[in-house]
Amino acid sequence: MKAKITRKTIEGVRQNYAVFNPSFLKRLDLTPGELVRAPPHLQGFYVMAADTIEDDTVGIHPKYFDKNDWTEGSIVQFEKFSVENIVGLIRNKVSGRTWNAQEIHSIIHAIDNEWLTPSHMATFATSCEINHLTDSETVFVASSFFEFSAKLHLRRGPVVDKHSIGGIPGNRITPIMVPIIAAAGLTIPKVSTRAITSPAGTIDSVELIMNVDFSPSEAAEIVEKTGGCIVNGETVGLGQTADKLIKVLKEVRLDPKELMIASILAKKSAAGSKYVLIDLPTGRGAKLPSKQEARSLAHLFSRVGHELGLHVESVISPGDKPIGEMIGPALEMKEAMMILEGKPSSLSLRRKAVSLSGIIFEMVGLADRGEGAIMAENILASGKALLKLREIIEAQGGDPHISSEDIPTAEYKEKIFAKKDDVVYTIDSKALRLIAHTAGAPQDKEAGVVLLVDRGEEIQKGEALFEIHANSASKLEQAISLAREKPPLVLEKMVLEHIKDVVP
């Protein structure tokens, strides 16, 4: 069917809709919820009806106007079609069967063109989570994600990257590692994200000092010039197909590990990387509770990476407490800058950034095994990393003269004090995260928590334990009362659990 198209915004969950006037729909023998597709990309659109749209005209979300290079009022040939065959393929995994390369390609292609509904993708993801993917299937998924992804075309090399799994608070190593690695002459096109569950993601922090939204060609230009970048994955659009699936995964709170690995490695490949270091924070409260699970994930990363032509290594790092001492977008950016500036700051965060940078130097042969960290430490201590960050800031349109002191802090702050002499048994990341969220992070950039004591420390009555930052008195109040109710510092106890089952 041919129809005139017009821009029409209806903001719901799904933007790939085609809105028809009810009488037009009837003449076309179409029903709301049916799928149509249109050249040039065979983009799929779900049929809706609204009487606010003119007859003979189809309303399309502006995003899809741009994506298809359409113009207002032009005539588009829509075609009704069915995804029954793809739904049948998905059903095979539900029944426990294994997909071949061609089948996986068809499913990922259908996701890319938005032919599948969120329910179809939820079924796909749930069947992957329960019945798992073989190594070959994971490779096929990654290859298809790569095929449909935008790419960064880089002339310089070797291209390296790192990726941390899971939201450990204060794990803001990227803005420290990228300049260390680029200062060593390597190429690191870092594509980062915003916070999902944590109080700050790399992008939430970094956008305080420079622009982060670039197209693939703009990002490539920055990297060619400076050796590195830190850009927003949502706007640069590498691995868009994986992101369509991840949106549904978040909604249903599933995270099938093979799909996660395929998505991460496809994005690294699309950015041009050849050497990838995976950081696996492990421990109580982390995404990976045991080293055994972390090791098995690391091996899977290596095997799948190998098939994709990537050299992948992994590190198991502590995930049972925060890394840095400052939690929240601005606070984490400030702490990272302080480390680059050589100011007194979190030793754990500094050591982690240096260790991981060193391993990357060893991976590419820039340093002998065991010598990388020294090289990274020298680059950091010499100030070369700070200079490199200033170059990157300038290339990304920020002020290269910015220092940690220029990063804004919250107007409302309050310290929480110890009520008696005690020992800090551990720090509860989850409780900390909730307090930071309640204080306003990550939406309020300056909100968050500053830790003033560390695990194992003896504390004295009246000593300041941590400080809450917020942009309003009411949010500060709420965060304080939450901190009193669910303290983020777990103090030492000699009875951990008391089992009271009564045997009849």
- Do residues 283 and 162 touch, judged by C-beta distance below 8 A? no
Nearer of residues 219 and 248 to a second copy, judged by Cβ: 248
Exactly one of 5, 38, 60, 90 binds a second copy (CB under 8 A); that residue is 90
- Do residues 78 and 36 touch, judged by C-beta distance below 8 A? yes
Rounded Cα–Cα distance for residues 324 and 352 (Å): 10
- Do residues 131 and 93 touch, judged by C-beta distance below 8 A? yes
Nearer of residues 129 and 293 to a second copy, judged by Cβ: 129
Q: Residue 326 corresponds to which tokens in the numbers above?
A: 């400052």
The binding track of 247-266 with respect to a second copy, each residue x by CB under 8 A or -, is -x--xxxx------------
Q: Minimal distance in Å, beta carbon 219 to a second copy?
A: 27
Exactly one of 2, 11, 155, 344 binds a second copy (CB under 8 A); that residue is 11
Exactly one of 24, 46, 214, 412 binds a second copy (CB under 8 A); that residue is 46
Nearer of residues 141 and 178 to a second copy, judged by Cβ: 141
Nearer of residues 121 and 186 to a second copy, judged by Cβ: 121
Nearer of residues 380 and 436 to a second copy, judged by Cβ: 436
Q: Minimal distance in Å, beta carbon 89 to a second copy?
A: 11
Residue 172 three-state SS:
coil
Using CB under 8 A, count the residues that bind a second copy.
42
Taking CB under 8 A as the criterion, which residues in 127-186 touch a second copy?
A: 127, 129-131
Rounded Cα–Cα distance for residues 470 and 440 (Å): 6
Rounded Cα–Cα distance for residues 396 and 212 (Å): 7
* Residue 220 C-beta-side C-alpha neighbours within 13 Å: 16
For residue 124, the 8-state DSSP code is H
Q: Minimal distance in Å, beta carbon 86 to a second copy?
A: 10
Nearer of residues 50 and 453 to a second copy, judged by Cβ: 50
Taking CB under 8 A as the criterion, which residues in 51-80 touch a second copy?
A: 51-52
Q: Minimal distance in Å, beta carbon 97 to a second copy?
A: 12
Q: Minimal distance in Å, beta carbon 131 to a second copy?
A: 6
The question of whether 255 is a catalytic residue gets the answer yes
Q: Minimal distance in Å, beta carbon 439 to a second copy?
A: 17
Which residue in this structure is represented by tokens 């300038």?
394
CA dist 84 → 87, 92, 110, 116, 192 (Å): 5, 13, 11, 10, 36
- Do residues 249 and 125 touch, judged by C-beta distance below 8 A? yes
CB atoms within 10 A of CB 258: 20
Q: Is 403 a binder of a second copy (CB under 8 A)? A: no
Query: Which of 189, 223, 236, 206 is CA-nearest to residue 391?
Result: 223
Q: Is 85 a binder of a second copy (CB under 8 A)? A: no
Q: Is 42 a binder of a second copy (CB under 8 A)? A: no
Nearer of residues 78 and 214 to a second copy, judged by Cβ: 78
Q: Is 289 a binder of a second copy (CB under 8 A)? A: no
- Residue from 135, 255, 320, 454 carrying the catalytic annotation: 255
Q: Residue 178 corresponds to which tokens in the numbers above?
A: 């990228």
CB atoms within 10 A of CB 194: 18
Q: Minimal distance in Å, beta carbon 426 to a second copy?
A: 24
CA dist 229 → 74, 118, 149, 389 (Å): 39, 33, 19, 9
Q: Is 49 a binder of a second copy (CB under 8 A)? A: yes
Query: Which of 217, 191, 504, 188 is CA-nearest to residue 360?
Result: 188
Which residue in this structure is represented by tokens 């129809």?
3
- Do residues 120 and 86 touch, judged by C-beta distance below 8 A? yes
Q: Residue 351 corresponds to which tokens in the numbers above?
A: 């050591």
The binding track of 95-134 with respect to a second copy, each residue x by CB under 8 A or -, is -x--------------------xxxxxxx-xxx-xxx---
Rounded Cα–Cα distance for residues 496 and 17 (Å): 55
Piece of the chain touching a second copy by CB under 8 A; list 12-20, 299-307, 338-346, 398-406 = 12-20
Exactly one of 50, 374, 402, 480 binds a second copy (CB under 8 A); that residue is 50
Strands (E), 428-493: 448-451, 458-459, 464-470, 489-491
Exactly one of 4, 67, 91, 430 binds a second copy (CB under 8 A); that residue is 91
User: Chain centroid to CA 452: how far?
Assistant: 28
Q: Is 474 a binder of a second copy (CB under 8 A)? A: no
Q: Is 195 a binder of a second copy (CB under 8 A)? A: no
Which residues are part of the catalytic machinery? Answer: 255
Residue numbers at the binding site for a second copy (CB under 8 A): 9-14, 17, 19, 22, 32-33, 46, 48-52, 84, 87-88, 90-91, 94, 96, 117-123, 125-127, 129-131, 248, 251-254
